Amino acid sequence: MKTRYTFGGDEHIFVEMDEEMSLDAFFKSLSMTNAVRAAQIDGVTEVCPANASFQVKFDPDRIKPDDMLAELKALEAVAEKAEKRLNTRIIEIPVFYQDPWTHETLMRFRERHQDPEGTDLDYAARINGYDSAADFITAHHSSPWFVSMVGFVAGLPFLYQLVERERQLEVPKYLRPRTDTPKQTVGYGGCFSCIYSVRGAGGYQMFGITPMTIYDPAQTTSYLRDFMVFFSPGDIVKWKPIDRTEYDATLADVEANRYEPLIKEVAFDLTAFNADIDGYNAKLMEALHGV
Amino acid sequence: MAFKVVNPGLLSTVQDLGRPGYFHLGIPISGAMDRFALRAANLMVGNDEGAAALECVFLGPQLEFESDATVAVTGADMPARVDGEEKPGWTAFKVRAGQLLTFDYLKAGARIYIAISGGIATPPALGSRSTYPIGALGGVEGRPLAVGDIVPLGEGGGAAEGRSVPEALRRMPGAPAELRVLPGLYWRLITEQSGQNFFDDEWKVAPEADRMGYRFRGGRPIEFEAREQPFGAGSDPSNIVDGCYPYGSIQVPGGTEPIVLHRDAVSGGGYFTLGAVISADMDFIGQLQPHTATRFVRVDMAAALEARKERRLLLEKVRAALS
């Protein structure tokens, strides 16, 4: 991992921990952004962690760009010593795979897809070596995921699969982005899953939909009264496959402001995770469901 | 204290100086695309520089005032009329209760800013009144103005009529428009020749130009240095592991059409960026019409900071002229 610093115009510094995605790169980015926030550098206006990089926005009238760069570089040593552990939460997110709404949308934009004859799931299954969409769906929901970035549009989480790299699913984005994606679509691009927080443009493959609102500017949803955005970087997610009946029932609960997602407090330790991935994930599942 | 929207024009939104502090959650800075014009308009009517005003693109609205107010229109050249009587741009004028504010056709530029004494008093969301329609935040119910909206105004009778920004201090893009760019970010992914072409070629603003970003067409495609794509980035050479996008950064999806990200842009994504338009030139972008010939001009950080200083001095002159 070689850190790369670069200016984004005269108001931003972009710091790439690594070109490729890994949890090590994410943790280093998280540690550095924590260090930048703690340092309370005069002139810093935004600190934004991403998957394997982060960005700092600053006011060059208050701090010279070269001085800002020197401040960040000085914090890198601090971040490297930080322990790769965080106290977070694991959340169960219900997903209705192969739902009619994303299906209608993916058929509408078929000419923008790598495989105009099939569906996004059939294509993803085939290029990842699965015999059927059902097997691919099982691979998608049988291990937990890690929120490594929130962004693109308001409250959209990027999720990274907590398995060895050889087992990670990878799919390209659409050849040309769609102009429409249903709200709460569960998508996939590169090595990341995502949930589209609002309806709109998008380039990720579409696999299903969750009945859970994850962005609510009115803050009436039962679990979004404190803040309108549900996800934070570091959250751990377990997808729960549901059918149409459960989707409808859950959606009705969400809309009636009485749905309470299954959430448990957990700690995540990267070193312990890397030492025994399956064993660590089993413990996360125990924490979620109780033993 | 309010006005009624008789006709919203093409796309009119409430904007102030924006909503910093939430970019890490995907909520963009928003706010006026031409902040200089917004500040100048507010100063003329006696508001705080960052008070909420209207940003209207290409076509003016028709507004019926329910109370007396001082109004100033800046930015694009689009003559205002009060009950049919023409009013000069960049100059404060009075509108009486019951009078109708309308606009002629656009003559130059793209966006007007209408500041009204007291400022627009819609409820702030996350510290700003700026409208971010994708996230349904700010403005009137999180959306652009619609027919019949009653838009509340703050208290304050406003400044006297006739305060004006001296002509020499009004700013509009030249022709062809020049946008100064600091190469950086993922510049290293493209070939040296492509980088040179980007600055040599003449581009034109594409019809897809809005508050999220301005797309440009007409230059040669970008070519990438051969490399193995990093894990997690995706297979196209223009793909990167999804990261943050700076305000003003220039992405070129598929290497074909550069997009300069603006106030309501997505906060991040998986396309490489080759640098960013310098902060001093971002306001100009909001005044570019589709098909405007545009050149990107390579600058270094010293030039970017010098240009920023010039913009600041210009604003200070406007403040002095109106104090």
Residue A25: CATH number of its domain: 3.30.1360.40
| Domain that residue B274 falls in | 177-313
Distance of CA B20 to the CA centre of its chain: 15
Distance of CA B275 to the CA centre of its chain: 19
| Domain that residue A44 falls in | 4-82
Classify each residue of A96-120 as buried b or exposed e, where b means 16 or more C-beta atoms within 10 Å of its C-beta: bbbbebbbebbeebeeebeeeebbb
**Last-in-domain residue among A82, A115, A148:** A82
Residue B148 shares a structural domain with residue B199: no
Residue A200: CATH number of its domain: 2.40.100.10
Of all residues in chain B, what percent are helix, strand and coil, respectively (each to 5)?
20, 35, 45
Residue A53 shares a structural domain with residue A100: no
Query: Does residue B113 fall inside a structural domain?
Result: yes
Residue A169 shares a structural domain with residue A124: yes
SS3 state at B53: strand
Query: Does residue B114 fall inside a structural domain?
Result: yes
Residue B155 shares a structural domain with residue B9: yes
> Measured between alpha carbons, how far is residue B249 from residues A9, A163, B19, B31, B268 in Å?
7, 34, 18, 17, 11
The secondary structure of residue A93, as a DSSP letter, is E
The rounded distance, in Å, linking the Cα atoms of A107 and A168 is 26
Residue B149 shares a structural domain with residue B258: no
**Structural domain count, chain B:** 2
**Residue B281's closest chain A neighbor by CA?**
A9
Task: Say which of A10, A173, A218 has its CB closest to residue B304.
Answer: A10
Residue B120 shares a structural domain with residue B9: yes
Query: Does residue B321 fall inside a structural domain?
Result: no
What pLDDT is attached to residue B234? Answer: 82
Q: Which tokens go with A87? A: 């106290």
Residue A44 shares a structural domain with residue A160: no
Q: Is A63 at the interface with chain B, CB within 8 A?
A: no
Query: Does residue B322 fall inside a structural domain?
Result: no
Rg (C-alpha) for chain A, rounded Å, is 20
Average pLDDT over chain A, rounded to an integer: 95
Residue A126 shares a structural domain with residue A78: no
> Measured between alpha carbons, how far is residue B245 from residues A55, B24, B169, B297, B316 in Å?
8, 11, 32, 20, 30
- State whether A198 and B182 contact (CB < 8 Å): no
Q: Look at strands A205-209 and A185-189 and give their pairing.
A: antiparallel
Give bridge partners of residue B277 from the DSSP assignment. B181
**Could you give the ipTM of this predicted complex?**
0.95
Q: pLDDT by residue (tens digit) across A66-93? A: 999 999 999 998 888 888 999 999 999 9
Residue A274 has a CB neighbour count (10 Å cut-off) of 13
**Last-in-domain residue among B166, B188, B214:** B166
Residue A97 shares a structural domain with residue A61: no
Task: Give the distance from residue B317's alpha carbon to the nearest chain A alpha carbon, in angstroms.
Answer: 17
Residues in chain B closer than 8 A to A164 (CB atoms): none
**Last-in-domain residue among A62, A82, A102:** A82
Residue A48 shares a structural domain with residue A119: no
Q: pLDDT by residue (tens digit) across A194-232? A: 999 999 989 899 999 999 999 999 999 999 999 999 999
**Last-in-domain residue among A82, A98, A124:** A82
Q: pLDDT by residue (tens digit) across B297-322? A: 999 999 999 999 999 999 999 999 99
- State whether B24 and A173 contact (CB < 8 Å): no
Residue B51 shares a structural domain with residue B106: yes
Residue A92 shares a structural domain with residue A229: yes
The rounded distance, in Å, linking the Cα atoms of B202 and B184 is 21
**Cβ within 8 Å of A, B 175-234:** 182, 184-185, 187, 230-234
Residue A143 shares a structural domain with residue A250: yes
**Structural domain count, chain A:** 2
